[in-house]
Structure 1
Amino acid sequence: MSRKARVTRTTGETSVDVHVDLDPADKTVEIATGVGFFDHMLHQLGKHGGFGLKVKVKGDLHIDAHHTMEDTAIALGQAFAEALGDKAGAVRFADASVPLDEVLARAVVDLSGRPYMVHEEPVDIAPMINTDYPTSMTRHILESFAYHAKICLHVTVLRASNPGQKPDAHHVIEAQFKALARALKAATRIDGDEIPSTKGVL
């Protein structure tokens, strides 16, 4: 069974091409969205998830990076949903906690077929990383991905900083993407051949 997918999404704002392979012999990760920090986060997703992941995007960055990141997250979620197929044999539920220096983040995944998202992170992180990544986009990226992947996703920043210090936005967001990657890796692992639901369908 091949668990891979390619999704292209073209609008008046962006052109997105996403390849996902959940069981790659070649774990190549190639990301080019034009948004440097977002590229870095998608690299974390592919690398720590053990996925083959290729993302190429041309977006209206002369306006801002919102459409580029939103449409990429939508296409990425669609590709994951397609690659998962009927989810026969998948573990389905998984969680992962990831530290990044002073930060601790946790992601919990259910390949439920019912989109849902819970997201908790500190409100006092810096509003921007570099000049093109508004930190408020993290929630929107994760929501868009979860909705289109048709998964239930909880992402929580359990610890954001040392006492008396402000959170480092880079660490806070990167820990979330790494935790998501590890949880997805575990949830998508094949462990049998049955659909993991009493309903018989996910």
Structure 2
Amino acid sequence: MRKAKITRNTAETNIQLSLAIDGKGDSQIQTGVGFFDHMLTLFAKHGRFDLRISCDGDIQVDAHHTVEDVAIVLGRAFSQGLGNRKGITRYGSMLLPMDEALVMSAIDISGRAMAVVELHIPSEKIGTQFDTELVEEFFIAFARELGATIHLHQIAGKNSHHIVEATFKGLARALSQAVAINPAAPEEIPSTKGTIL
């Protein structure tokens, strides 16, 4: 199984994270931000990643540092767990409906960090702690640390919760495709360059 454990301690957050890429979707998430915990739980479930996250962050200020720093650690964990990327499918995409919302998610584990996030979330906050502008911050940090190109494009949607949930679920399923081992080429690096690091 491809696994990683990472601890990151700063003046703003203390994070312990463990990841099994080839998991069953089991999770234990505690960040102190309820809506964010919900998104990470369904991310693990829909990607079938086993994920444990404990974060003690400065949420008395706001949720920004917690959300961004968890994304940093999660991206690093996937990068570490994937190693030299040998045998991965590399690409994944998902068009995911969530009631009235519809979001397209696509990923290329290319070694090149890029996040294009085109979401039109009507409310500035979901719940009492989660600022919706943090969705883009999360995926930018995650893409950077994983070394991946991510596109997230909203096609329809009016409910902020549904839009964000469709985004996390869709990216999880796209990522699950991308990290899957290609049975036709399980020993190959999926690039003509011979490396994607």
- Give the TM interval when normalised to the shorter protein: over 0.9
Q: For 1:84-95, list aligned pairs within 5 A.
A: 84-95=82-93
1:185 paired with 2:182, answer no
Alpha-carbon distance, 1:121 to partner = 0.8
Quick one: distance in 1 between partners of 2:51 and 2:187?
A: 25
Quick one: distance in 1 between partners of 2:5 and 2:95?
A: 29
Quick one: distance in 2 between partners of 1:3 and 1:64?
A: 33
1:102 paired with 2:96, answer no
Determine what percentage of the aligned residue pairs are the same residue: 41
Which of 103, 123, 126 pairs up with 1:126? 123
Which of 186, 190, 195 pairs up with 1:196? 190
Quick one: distance in 1 between partners of 2:118 and 2:43?
A: 19
| Letter matched to residue 131 of structure 1 | T
Aligned residues between the structures: 193
Quick one: distance in 2 between partners of 1:179 and 1:89?
A: 23
Per-residue deviation, residues 27-73 of structure 1 (Å, max 9, x unmatched): 42110000000000001110000011111100111111111111111
In the TM superposition, structure 1's runs of 4+ consecutive aligned residues that sit over 2 Å from their partners are: none
TM-score, normalising length: structure 1: 0.93
Quick one: distance in 1 between partners of 2:187 and 2:103?
A: 31
Q: Secondary structure at the match of 2:86?
A: coil
1:169 paired with 2:167, answer no
CA contact (8 A) 2:25 2:46 kept: no
Superposed CA RMSD: 1.0
* 1:154 paired residue number: 151
Q: Secondary structure at the match of 2:54?
A: strand
TM-score, normalising length: structure 2: 0.95
| Letter matched to residue 179 of structure 1 | G
Per-residue deviation, residues 83-117 of structure 1 (Å, max 9, x unmatched): 11111110001101110000001110101011111
